[in-house]
Amino acid sequence: MIGSIVGGAMKLGAGIFGGISAARAMRNVKSNLEQQKKDNQNWYDKNYNEDATQRADAQRLLTMTEDSIAKRNRQSAGTAAVMGGTEESVAAAKEANAKALSDTMSSINTAAEARKSQIEQQYMAKNDSLNQQLNAMEQQKAQSIAAAVSGAAGAGADVAGAAFPEKKQ
Give tens-digit pLDDT for 64-117: 999 988 888 888 777 777 777 677 777 888 888 889 889 999 999 999 999 999
**Percent with pLDDT over 90 in the chain:** 25
The verdict on pTM exceeding 0.75 is no
**Domain layout of the chain by residue ranges:** 2-57+107-163
Q: Cα separations (Å) of 15 from 3, 96, 120, 161, 162? A: 18, 80, 45, 18, 19
Mean pLDDT of the chain: 80
Average the pLDDT over 34-55 and give the result: 91
Residues 6+ apart with CB under 8 A from 127: 37, 40, 41
